[in-house]
Amino acid sequence: MAYYFTSESVSEGHPDKIADQISDALIDNFMAFDPDSKVACETLVTTGQVVLAGEVNSKTYLDVQQITRNVIKKIGYTKSEYMFDANSCGILSAIHEQSQDINQGVDKSNKEEQGAGDQGIMFGYATSETDDFMPLALDLSHKLLQELAEIRRENSEITYLRPDAKSQVTLEYGDDNKPKRVVTIVLSTQHDDFIRPENSTVEEKKRVEKLMQNKIKEDIKVILIPRLLEKYPQYKQYFEQPITYHINPTGVFIIGGPHGDTGLTGRKIIVDTYGGKGAHGGGAFSGKDPSKVDRSAAYATRHIAKNIVAAGIAEEVLVQVSYAIGIAEPMGVYVNTYGTAKVNFSDAEIAEKIQKLFDLRPYFIEENLKLRQPIYTETAAYGHMGRKNEIVKKTFVSPSGEVKEVEVELFTWEKLDKVALLKEAFN
């Protein structure tokens, strides 16, 4: 039976994503100068104010205020009329030392026996719907906003855009469980007050608001969508039938960002993962060093799931792992191929083999995926999964002026480096 499925995304200028990016920028700076740092930091942003809180065990000291301002500036909050400005916002730090009660369960004399930083369940998911093995609705939602952010920075084709934005894509699926077409696109973007009323009457204000809304809707359809499809021609087939657009459906969207809504680290966990497909264990990623299995094990299970689908073992798969705080060995591994397995093994047998092929102890996850590098700022907007694995150079500056230039590998959990191993194991 045919059905609809919807996923959403939010831009780098969304309040919750600002918070995620600040938290992960702190993680990266700690990692750059002390890779053994243990960090759990949360960020709150609101009108003209940033609050940093959390627990840290590290040998390095950071200028957290300057790091925070750099993130906000890079996102694009650089004007006083936004009521949240990189140069003038207040920043309060309440970061303190990590609890020894927690730390004693993680740090062990034998590093290989490093315990999980917390109890919990983590999920990884992959599907053959897209080239990056991600659900199509989420993939499109992310890419719409990434392209919109590029247009905003260019400031040529569309000149009124502000940093805050949200997208949502609804797909129609056929009886074969394959996506058929895009049904609806919802997109809300913050914007300047770019048409001014001629007088102060309510009628004139409504007329101007309607003009701005119509202009934004036209630009999204005539500029953004064609640019998206030109860059990703593989998606054109889903846009061939009429699509319903809801662009800034409430009208004007001038007040946005932290002035319009408070932002907190870890409030966009479905946007960060699979857009509602598969499952989620409930733990956020941003602001946590890799000893926290909420983050590292979610990356590890995505790595497993993606390689399973790429190896042709199944068209869709969900992988779950669970931990007890302070214990290295996972409590168990679960696999669900949703009836799409192409091998002569049950899901339970697949799970049993996965446990033998992949070492899911926290230390080995960190080592195999190179997670003690400063690689996290890039994950904090537009999703942690389905991203491009690449090597980049990054520069960090300490409060004392020490400059650290490092070459790091981003999104290691997206590598298809276990396909041959899996093919051999499953014949």
Residues 225, 286 share a domain: no
Please indicate, yes or no, if residue 113 is contained in any of the structural domains: no
Please indicate, yes or no, if residue 109 is contained in any of the structural domains: no
Residues 227, 341 share a domain: no
Render pLDDT for 129-171 as a digit per residue (tens, 0 to 9). 999 999 999 999 999 999 999 999 999 999 999 999 999 999 9
* CATH of residue 47: 3.30.300.10
Q: Using CA atoms, how far apart are residues 248 and 393, in angstroms rounded to an integer?
A: 38
Render pLDDT for 63-74 as a digit per residue (tens, 0 to 9). 999 999 999 999
What is the pLDDT, as a whole number, of residue 104?
58
* pLDDT range class, residue 113, cuts 50, 70, 90: confident
Please indicate, yes or no, if residue 168 is contained in any of the structural domains: yes
Residue type, 138: L
* pLDDT range class, residue 379, cuts 50, 70, 90: very high
Please indicate, yes or no, if residue 388 is contained in any of the structural domains: yes
- Asked if residue 347 belongs to a known ligand binding site, the reply is no
Residues 193, 143 share a domain: yes
Three-class SS of 89-119: CEEEEEEEECCHHHHHHHCCCCHHHCCECCC
Instruction: Please classify residue 131 by burial: count the beta carbons closer than 10 Å to its beta carbon, then call 0-12 exposed, 13-18 middle and 19+ buried.
Output: exposed
Residues 149, 95 share a domain: no
- Asked if residue 164 belongs to a known ligand binding site, the reply is yes
Please indicate, yes or no, if residue 262 is contained in any of the structural domains: no
Residue 101 reports pLDDT greater than 60: no
* pLDDT range class, residue 372, cuts 50, 70, 90: very high
Domain tally, the chain: 3
Residue 315 reports pLDDT greater than 90: yes
* pLDDT range class, residue 112, cuts 50, 70, 90: confident
User: 3-class SS at 354?
Assistant: helix
What is the pLDDT, as a whole number, of residue 99?
64
Place of tokens 């499809």: 229
What is the pLDDT, as a whole number, of residue 118?
87
- Domain extent, residue 213, equals 3-8+137-255
Please indicate, yes or no, if residue 88 is contained in any of the structural domains: yes
Residues 417, 325 share a domain: yes
- Asked if residue 113 belongs to a known ligand binding site, the reply is no
Please indicate, yes or no, if residue 374 is contained in any of the structural domains: yes
Render pLDDT for 196-219 as a digit per residue (tens, 0 to 9). 999 999 999 999 999 999 999 999
Domain-terminating residue out of 221, 255, 289? 255
Q: Using CA atoms, how far apart are residues 263 and 191, in angstroms rounded to an integer?
A: 19
Residues 281, 249 share a domain: no
Percent of the chain with pLDDT over 70: 97
What is the pLDDT, as a whole number, of residue 108?
57
- Asked if residue 16 belongs to a known ligand binding site, the reply is yes
- Asked if residue 288 belongs to a known ligand binding site, the reply is yes
Computed over every residue of the chain, the mean pLDDT equals 95
What is the pLDDT, as a whole number, of residue 97?
86
- Asked if residue 55 belongs to a known ligand binding site, the reply is yes
Render pLDDT for 2-30 as a digit per residue (tens, 0 to 9). 999 999 999 999 999 999 999 999 999 99
Residues 346, 238 share a domain: no
Residue 105 reports pLDDT greater than 70: no
Please indicate, yes or no, if residue 264 is contained in any of the structural domains: no
- Calculate mean pLDDT across residues 216-224: 98
- Asked if residue 366 belongs to a known ligand binding site, the reply is no
- Asked if residue 14 belongs to a known ligand binding site, the reply is yes
